């Protein structure tokens, strides 16, 4: 035997003696049983391996990013003022609270129900871990036994995966979190993540749903009831069957006594609280769906937020939507005669001073038709487009007392060709002033003005006022003055709001500002606006449009009882009818239109007892009713004084239309709320003028003088009412016959005084 072999044999003999294996003092098979020394060494080795494994596992297990849904909070959208909620955006309905925003009763009840040693343990329950391990091996895992910290880790960072790997990972993360966070913070985080039924995640949302209160105000009984629900939140709603919670509720109360949060005497008095019945979860009913879709679109487009940020960001989204005005909008549309198949109504209302959208009417039933009648549907504007041509004319040297041809004729177009527009019903007016042409919506006069000033300038004014350049049908053809373009009601309300704001355009917007959960404003809408028009041009335009209301095609709107300017409109073939009007504080557009099943505009036809619909009828009626409710209690403001217009050389007569009538001095007096005669002299009427029933609007429609019947919704006793009586001011009134007088500085009277126009 070599020296090396002898040394190896000596070492083996020495180890055998140390381990005593095989056992020297035993005979037979017992020699092979491990000695106590060997058992001890084996256990020590296993312990060292476990410690090493734990150390490595702990070091290699980072705290992961939170589960996106669990970390998400509900975002709230508020009406103007920030008190009432319009609706919410959410993946899971949750509001995260700080520890001091949760009642101590809730923390005590949760500890009693789920982890009595919570404030003493190091984040894990050894008992629960071994029970889980056995369950996983035997495929009979019943759950329970995890510490509150472990449950929080599972809810917030991990998943409900049923595996030993997930359980070990949960343990390591729980230990780390217990070292990094205070017990109060862990408890608050846990209570923010638990599910308590009714699609309520966290105690704040649950408190609102079950008890209509904040989590900081929960009583002992209410907190114990929630703690009793933690393990079975999806069971039958306690409002329907509270008895299902009784056994678990008693268990929680008894443990609260053991933990010395309650005395036995107090515990004996505890009873299950009364739960509120669940509220309807239909958050998109009525106009809410249209508003919420519009808000989401604006947050993504203007604020650059993603759907994930909106749905999980816990944002406070403040809008300019006025709850009272929304109610008035709905009522004004619902008061209209029943809509025919394919008919829709759009209503949009904008604050000219801020650009904030105050109200919309998006449709009757969001779930049947999600397309928004106010912000998405378009309709030919008809004669509501004439004010854009009026502004273009005033900017280029024309004046309200300039004379134009009010009778049908054929115009020569500058680029070649001819155009022979007709007045509504084929009516003839002779020579009329621009003011009269505006008041009675005379197509031929405005066609002449548009050709002379240049239709490209009409388009330019429309775009500057607020219409998008890509508006369907918006072009530089001579016929654009008759409203061949098809904007939305919101776009038209925005454009007329520019007139009301003395030429300053502010982009209309729903969202005023957005605040994150930390109270930081992450988005705020710009409302300074941009000056687009001379203020005196706007004052002159507004004056002309007040005459449309004071004895013109929109006389029904004078029932508002305050200064109003606006313009009616009816499209070709009566596919749409409009009224767009404003006061100094509010600009509102109302459109009624009809589509076929493919979304193609079609003739509305007879409606509400009328042979055909015009802008001066139901759109003006709906506009007036809305404004009466929306502006109730608001101060009466006057429009700005008229002033000197830009001194610009009038363009040449490109149309060939007659300008024969001598120019008359312009009346520079400030208009009041009462009607004027044709020349502009002020009159304060004894009664307010109701809509003209038998004189159809002079509009772009080719229909010939179709007789209109009295609107079916006008009260039978309308002619007995006194509009000066405050109790009846908002009711429509007929104008009494009056003898007109013309002063020497009045513009020439309409040679066909029997025709009042309409749209």
pLDDT tens digits for 416-457? 889 999 998 889 999 999 999 999 999 999 999 999 999 999
Q: Which helix (H) or strand (E) holds 47?
A: helix 36-60
Determine the pLDDT at residue 709. 31
CB atoms within 10 A of CB 306: 11
Is 692 domain-assigned? yes
Cα–Cα distance measured from residue 327 to residue 330, given in angstroms and rounded to the nearest whole number:
5
Residues 253 and 391 in one domain: no
Determine the pLDDT at residue 590. 99
Burial-class residue 513 by CB neighbours within 10 Å (0-12, 13-18, 19+): middle
Determine the pLDDT at residue 673. 36
The phi-psi region of residue 416 (left if phi > 0; otherwise alpha if psi is between -120 and 50; otherwise beta) is left
Cα–Cα distance measured from residue 570 to residue 379, given in angstroms and rounded to the nearest whole number:
10
Determine the pLDDT at residue 5. 59
For residue range 601-635, list pLDDT tens digits in order: 999 999 998 888 999 999 999 999 999 999 999 99
Cα–Cα distance measured from residue 227 to residue 380, given in angstroms and rounded to the nearest whole number:
60
Q: What are phi and psi of 344, to 5 degrees?
A: -140, 155
In 189-239, the DSSP E strands lie at: 200-201
The band of 589, judged by pLDDT with boundaries at 50, 70 and 90, is: very high
Residues 56 and 96 in one domain: no
Please, where are the H alpha helices in 358-442?
386-395, 434-439
Is 329 domain-assigned? no
Asked whether the predicted pLDDT for residue 511 surpasses 90, the reply is yes
Per-state percent for the chain, helix, strand, coil, to nearest 5: 40, 10, 50
Residues 34 and 103 in one domain: no
Asked whether the CA dihedral 39, 40, 41, 47 is positive or negative, the reply is positive
Tell the residue number behind the tokens 């016959």, with chain if given: 737
Q: Residues near 619 by Cβ (< 8 Å), separated by ≥ 6?
A: 568, 577, 578, 579, 590, 591, 592, 613
Residues 104 and 41 in one domain: no
Contact indicator for 211, 93 with CB cutoff of 8 Å: no
Reference 452, options 481, 495, 483; nearest CA is: 481
CB atoms within 10 A of CB 316: 17
| Domain termination site, one of 42, 60, 78 | 60
Reference 207, options 267, 297, 275; nearest CA is: 275
HEC profile of 253-278: HHHHHHCCCCCHHHHHCCCCCCCCCC
* Higher local confidence (pLDDT), 70 or 544: 544
Please, where are the H alpha helices in 261-322?
264-268, 288-301, 307-312
Q: Which domain holds residue 43?
A: 3-60
The band of 319, judged by pLDDT with boundaries at 50, 70 and 90, is: very high
For residue range 106-117, list pLDDT tens digits in order: 999 999 999 999
Residues 56 and 114 in one domain: no
Percent of the chain surpassing pLDDT 70: 76
- Number of domains comprising the chain: 3
Q: Which helix (H) or strand (E) holds 514?
A: strand 511-515
CA dist list (Å): 746 to 118, 401, 430, 678, 680: 90, 9, 17, 7, 6
Across-strand partners of 201?
94, 195
Active site residues: 114, 383
Cα–Cα distance measured from residue 142 to residue 4, given in angstroms and rounded to the nearest whole number:
60
Asked whether the predicted pLDDT for residue 672 surpasses 80, the reply is no
Residues 38 and 185 in one domain: no
Residues 50 and 97 in one domain: no
DSSP state of 122: S
Contact indicator for 151, 118 with CB cutoff of 8 Å: no
Q: What are phi and psi of 132, to 5 degrees?
A: -65, -40
Determine the pLDDT at residue 671. 41
Helices (H) and strands (E) in the chain, counts: 22, 18
Cα–Cα distance measured from residue 59 to residue 52, given in angstroms and rounded to the nearest whole number:
11
Q: How would you label 454-477 residue by residue, b for 16+ Cβ within 10 Å and e otherwise? A: bbebbbbbbbbbbbeeebeebeeb
Residue 515, both tokens: 């605040």
Average pLDDT over residues 236-254: 93
Asked whether the predicted pLDDT for residue 752 surpasses 70, the reply is no
Residue 100, both tokens: 């001091």
Residue 553, both tokens: 């095609």
Q: What are phi and psi of 24, to 5 degrees?
A: -75, -30
Average pLDDT over residues 474-488: 97
Residues 562 and 655 in one domain: yes
Cα–Cα distance measured from residue 406 to residue 447, given in angstroms and rounded to the nearest whole number:
10
Is 298 domain-assigned? no
Asked whether the predicted pLDDT for residue 239 surpasses 50, the reply is yes
386-395 helix and 535-549 helix, angle to the nearest 10 degrees: 140
| Domain termination site, one of 268, 289, 320 | 268
CATH number of the domain that 402 lies in? 3.40.710.10
Is 344 domain-assigned? no
Burial-class residue 198 by CB neighbours within 10 Å (0-12, 13-18, 19+): buried
* Higher local confidence (pLDDT), 189 or 704: 189
Is 337 domain-assigned? no
CB atoms within 10 A of CB 391: 29
The band of 733, judged by pLDDT with boundaries at 50, 70 and 90, is: very low
Cα–Cα distance measured from residue 755 to residue 48, given in angstroms and rounded to the nearest whole number:
106
Q: Which of 325-329, 636-640, 726-730 is predicted least confidently?
A: 726-730
Average pLDDT over residues 259-271: 97
618-630 helix and 323-334 helix, angle to the nearest 10 degrees: 150
The band of 138, judged by pLDDT with boundaries at 50, 70 and 90, is: low
Residues 56 and 110 in one domain: no
Determine the pLDDT at residue 160. 67
- Average pLDDT value over all residues in the chain: 83
Is 691 domain-assigned? yes
Residues 416 and 564 in one domain: yes
Residues 682 and 552 in one domain: yes
Residues 51 and 168 in one domain: no
Determine the pLDDT at residue 23. 64
Residue 230, both tokens: 């933690």
Reference 348, options 363, 334, 358, 337; nearest CA is: 358
Is 399 domain-assigned? yes
CB-hemisphere CA count at 13 Å for 639?
A: 35
| Domain termination site, one of 37, 60, 83 | 60
Q: What is the CA radius of gyration of the chain?
A: 39
Cα–Cα distance measured from residue 711 to residue 625, given in angstroms and rounded to the nearest whole number:
14
CATH number of the domain that 251 lies in? 1.10.3810.10
Determine the pLDDT at residue 31. 63
Is 258 domain-assigned? yes
């Amino acid at each position: 035997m070599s020296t090396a072999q002898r040394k190896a044999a000596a070492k083996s003999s020495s180890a055998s003696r140390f381990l005593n294996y095989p056992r020297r003092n035993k005979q037979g098979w017992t020699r092979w049983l491990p000695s106590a020394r060997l058992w001890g060494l084996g256990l020590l080795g296993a312990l060292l391996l476990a410690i090493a494994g734990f150390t490595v596992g702990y070091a290699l297990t980072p705290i992961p990013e939170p589960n996106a849904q669990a970390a998400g909070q509900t975002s709230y959208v508020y009406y103007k003022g920030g008190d009432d909620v319009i609706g919410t955006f959410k993946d899971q309905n949750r509001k995260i609270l700080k520890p001091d925003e949760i009642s101590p009763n809730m923390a005590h009840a949760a500890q009693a129900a789920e982890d009595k040693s919570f404030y003493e343990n190091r984040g894990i329950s050894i008992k629960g871990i071994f029970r889980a391990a056995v369950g996983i091996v035997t495929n009979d895992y019943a759950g329970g036994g995890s510490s509150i910290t472990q449950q929080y880790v599972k809810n917030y960072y991990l998943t409900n995966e049923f595996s030993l790997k997930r359980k070990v990972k949960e343990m390591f993360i729980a230990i780390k979190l217990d070292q990094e966070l205070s017990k109060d913070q862990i408890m608050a985080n846990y209570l923010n993540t638990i599910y308590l039924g009714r699609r309520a995640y966290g105690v704040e949302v649950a408190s609102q749903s079950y008890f209509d209160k904040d989590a900081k105000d929960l009583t002992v009984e209410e907190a114990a009831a929630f703690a009793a629900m933690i393990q079975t939140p999806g069971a039958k709603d306690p409002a329907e069957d509270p008895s299902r919670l009784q056994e678990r509720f008693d268990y929680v109360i008894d443990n609260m006594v053991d933990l010395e949060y309650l005395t036995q005497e107090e515990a004996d008095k505890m009873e299950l609280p009364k739960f509120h019945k669940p509220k309807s979860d239909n958050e998109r009913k009525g106009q809410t769906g249209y508003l919420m879709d519009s808000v989401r679109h604006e947050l993504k487009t203007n604020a650059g937020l993603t759907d994930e940020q909106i749905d999980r960001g816990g944002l406070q989204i403040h809008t300019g939507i006025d709850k009272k005005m929304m109610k008035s909008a709905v009522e004004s549309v619902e008061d209209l005669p029943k809509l025919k198949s394919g008919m829709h109504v759009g209503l949009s209302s904008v604050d000219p001073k801020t650009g904030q959208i105050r109200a919309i009417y998006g449709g009757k039933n969001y779930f049947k038709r999600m397309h928004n009648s106010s912000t998405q549907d378009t309709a030919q504007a008809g004669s509501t487009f004439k004010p854009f041509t009026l502004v273009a004319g005033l900017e280029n040297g024309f004046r309200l007392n300039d004379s134009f041809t009010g009778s049908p004729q054929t115009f020569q177009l500058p680029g070649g060709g001819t155009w022979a527009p007709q007045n509504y019903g084929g009516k003839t007016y002779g020579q009329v002033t621009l003011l009269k042409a505006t008041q009675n919506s005379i197509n031929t006069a405005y066609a002449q003005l548009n050709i002379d000033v240049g239709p490209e300038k009409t388009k330019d004014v429309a775009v500057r006022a607020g219409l998008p350049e890509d508006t369907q049908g918006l072009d530089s053809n001579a016929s654009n003055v008759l409203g061949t373009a098809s904007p939305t009601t919101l776009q038209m309300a925005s454009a007329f709001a520019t007139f009301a704001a003395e030429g300053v355009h502010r982009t209309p917007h729903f969202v005023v500002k957005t605040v994150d959960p930390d109270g930081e404003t992450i988005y705020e809408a710009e409302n300074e606006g941009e000056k687009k028009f001379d203020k005196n041009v706007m004052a002159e335009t507004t004056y002309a449009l007040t005459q449309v209301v004071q004895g013109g095609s929109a006389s029904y709107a004078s029932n508002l009882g305050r200064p109003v300017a606006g313009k009616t409109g009816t499209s070709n073939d009566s596919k749409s009818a409009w009224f767009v009007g404003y006061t100094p504080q509010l600009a509102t557009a109302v459109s009624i239109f009809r589509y076929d099943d493919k979304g193609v505009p079609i003739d509305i036809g007879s409606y509400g007892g009328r042979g055909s619909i015009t802008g001066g009828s139901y759109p003006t009626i709906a506009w007036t009713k809305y404004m009466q409710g929306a502006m109730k209690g608001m101060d009466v403001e006057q429009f700005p004084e008229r002033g000197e217009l830009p001194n610009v050389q009038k363009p040449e007569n490109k149309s060939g239309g007659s300008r024969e009538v001598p120019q008359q001095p312009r009346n520079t007096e400030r208009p009041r709320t009462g009607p004027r005669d044709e020349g502009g002299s002020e009159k304060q009427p004894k009664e307010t003028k109701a809509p003209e029933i038998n004189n159809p609007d002079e509009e772009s429609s080719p229909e010939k003088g179709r007789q209109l019947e009295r609107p079916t919704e006008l009260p039978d006793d309308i002619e007995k009412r006194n509009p000066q009586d405050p109790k009846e001011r908002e009711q429509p009134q007929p104008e009494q016959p009056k003898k007109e007088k013309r002063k020497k500085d009045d513009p020439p009277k309409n040679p066909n005084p029997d025709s009042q126009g309409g749209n």
